[in-house]
Structure 1
Amino acid sequence: MKIALLGTGFGQAHAAVYAARRGDVEVVMFGRNPDKTAETAGKFGFASSSDLDQAFEDDFDLVDICLPVPLHAEYVLRALDADKHALVELPLAGTMDDARRVVEVTARSGKQVFVDMFERFIPANRALFDAVRDGTYGRLEQLTLWNWTAHLWPGVSLGLKTLPLEAMHSDMDIVTRTLGRPRSVEVTTVARDGDSAAIEATLGFDGAFARDSVSSLMPMAWGARGGYTATFSDGVLEAASSMGFDGKPTGTLTAYTAAGARELDLPPADQYTAVIDHVLACLRGEVANEIAPATALDALQLTLDIDQQVNGTK
């Protein structure tokens, strides 16, 4: 399968996955700066190009879009217009109008589009989704999520302008998949500077509430850590994870019930590898697409609502 990988920033996370499975993929990395693109692509053994138009003109099967958020919807639509499948980093788009346009065009195109909703593939999160669906611990009443990180990605701003769409969006996907759309949203923020900040959102539902805390105020030694506490009517699920400079997460999941505390076994999994494995399996016709654009709309709407409160956007 021939893949056009657009972007040399977060695109490196995707590149590492492709490089580990080069037996069934051929990748060309695209970027605006020829020297930087060639240097980055060379680390993974890929060819490179600074002519982004080539990604839509040559015989690529999949366009993998790891570009700035305002370009996401535009480049997905370009891929579909060129009769190619597309994988796009989250969020799908910066506005609901653009997101709905992608959904509509995808439905008519005969091609598949995938949104990198990577948190759906984290084993602890899948355990939460299963517990809510199956009623394993009763009804979900309270959900607290947190994601606190240092600046592990050089040059990437994690201030108030970017945190909602680039840090909270995945958590909002967990919220909407387990509790639906909230009836109320309250937001509190603190900013150290333009690139470092924290946001906490409290979301009200009928008979339940959720709280999400994201922060980029942590020192480098902290790495990235996060997790959730899900309180049900008959028990609690608590997940904790950490990620250091190797990019490989570790995690635990514990169930608390009247019978006591029990640590649940989690299968080893890297969420970025799991997403790309899923994409390629879908394109081979082996499984159904779990991360199609239409499935991301509720989480995107909620994220944009929070962004509007934080930054006054519309």
Structure 2
Amino acid sequence: MKIALLGTNFGQAHAAVYAAREDVDVDVVMIGRDAAKTAQVAGQFGFTAATDLDAAFADDSVDLVDVCLPIALHTPMALRALAAGKHVLTELPMAASLEEGRRLVAASESSDRHVFVDMFERFIPANQALDDAVRDGTYGRLEELTCWSAMAPLWPGASLGAKVLPMEGMHSDLDLITRALGMPHEVHVTSVERNADAGAVEAVMAFDGALARSSVSSLRPMPWGGRGGWTAAFTDGVLESVSTMGYDGKPTTSLTACTGEGVHEVELPPADQYAAMIEHVLAVLRGEADNRITPAGALDALQLTLRVDQQVNAGW
């Protein structure tokens, strides 16, 4: 497996996973605009550095193009990879518009290549426990789901102002919500902005017989790091997950169940969601699994994220 990794910022999270694996060609090509920075970052992981983006698509030996570029480039690069006969893994959100997202869905479904969207939160054990509880009715019917995350400016140079928070910070939680409850029939959004790089957004969503909230904030000092979680209230109990996370994307998570019989901690298997996501990608490419993170499966979350984004930016 040879991989062309596009992007040297968040691409480092994927690079660390590839570098730790023995079954991936260690001569991963890491491609960035800044030659010096690309060489420095690629060198940390023992990868080849390049600045020629065209090479990722022209090189017949490249099997997978991994797109860790700004959101506006996700769909164009994914479509270009498909046209070049490559499998593609794209960061989320998969598109900057619903039209682009639908175009990627159509292209992926008509291609014999796999397209993966980095819906990493689906591989977090606590989130998988919520999916299972909703599907199996373990605690009855889900009536309320509240998701929250609050972070410091952990990614130097990246804006986390209110205008970008829906696309940059809420998408994963909105995917959790749409998987659990479907698409809402009402969405109400409020936001506050300290400056162009720090703010907070909250969305309240109404469903038939249920409601959900998603709250994301970048109004925290650096020692805070990143913290988040969710509370799911069912007719017969409550599940609550709390996690802390740093730049490496490796959370410390707890899961608590509360029913009429009492409160207990739910044991979770250890997991690194980025490693698990990439393991899934490689397993699919080896023919050992079905793709769980297709563009079609990410379209509802994209549509809801764009709806929240539109309401936030309409108010500024």
Q: What TM-score, normalized by structure 2, do the two folds share? A: 0.97
Q: What secondary structure is seen at the aligned counterpart in 1 of 2:128?
A: helix
Q: Spell out the pairing of 1:93-132 with structure 2 (5 A cutoff).
A: 93-132=95-134
> Is residue 2:277 matched to residue 1:289?
no
Q: How many angstroms does 1:312 deviate by?
A: 2.8
Q: Which residue of 1 is the match for residue 270 of structure 2?
A: 268
Work out the CA distance in 2 between the residues paired with 1:106 and 1:249.
31
Work out the CA distance in 1 between the residues paired with 2:168 and 2:22.
29
Q: Spell out the pairing of 1:15-30 with structure 2 (5 A cutoff).
A: 15-26=15-26, 27-30=28-31
Q: How many angstroms does 1:245 deviate by?
A: 5.2
Work out the CA distance in 1 between the residues paired with 2:247 and 2:93.
24
> Is residue 2:69 matched to residue 1:67?
yes
- Summarize deviations over 1:244-274 as a string: whole Å, max 9, x none: 3554210100100011001000000011111
> Is residue 2:157 matched to residue 1:155?
yes
Q: Which residue of 1 is the match for residue 39 of structure 2?
A: 38
Q: How many angstroms does 1:92 deviate by?
A: 0.6
Work out the CA distance in 2 between the residues paired with 1:189 and 1:68.
23
Work out the CA distance in 1 between the residues paired with 2:110 and 2:183.
27
Among candidates 139, 142, 145, match of residue 143 of structure 1? 145
Contact 2:38 2:49 (8 Å CA) reproduced? yes
The alpha-carbon distance between structure 1 residues 99 and 245, as it changes in their structure 2 partners (threshold 3 A), is closer
Contact 2:151 2:224 (8 Å CA) reproduced? yes
The code of the aligned residue for 1:251 comes to T
Work out the CA distance in 2 between the residues paired with 1:247 and 1:171.
15
Q: Spell out the pairing of 1:1-314 with structure 2 (5 A cutoff).
A: 1-26=1-26, 27-58=28-59, 59-244=61-246, 247-312=249-314
Q: What TM-score, normalized by structure 1, do the two folds share? A: 0.98
Work out the CA distance in 1 between the residues paired with 2:110 and 2:119.
22
Q: How many angstroms does 1:306 deviate by?
A: 0.4
Work out the CA distance in 2 between the residues paired with 1:112 and 1:229.
34
RMSD after superposition:
1.0
Work out the CA distance in 1 between the residues paired with 2:230 and 2:8.
31
Work out the CA distance in 1 between the residues paired with 2:270 and 2:33.
36
Identical counterparts, % of pairs: 64
Work out the CA distance in 2 between the residues paired with 1:244 and 1:118.
15
Q: How many angstroms does 1:108 deviate by?
A: 1.3
Work out the CA distance in 2 between the residues paired with 1:78 and 1:129.
33
The code of the aligned residue for 1:185 comes to V
The code of the aligned residue for 2:198 comes to S
Q: What secondary structure is seen at the aligned counterpart in 1 of 2:195?
A: coil
- Summarize deviations over 1:49-87 as a string: whole Å, max 9, x none: 000000001120000000000000000000000000000
After superposing the two structures, state which structure 1 stretch, 160-169 or 191-200, moved more: 160-169
Aligned residues: 313
The ranges of structure 1 where at least 4 consecutive aligned residues each deviate by more than 4 angstroms after the TM superposition are: none
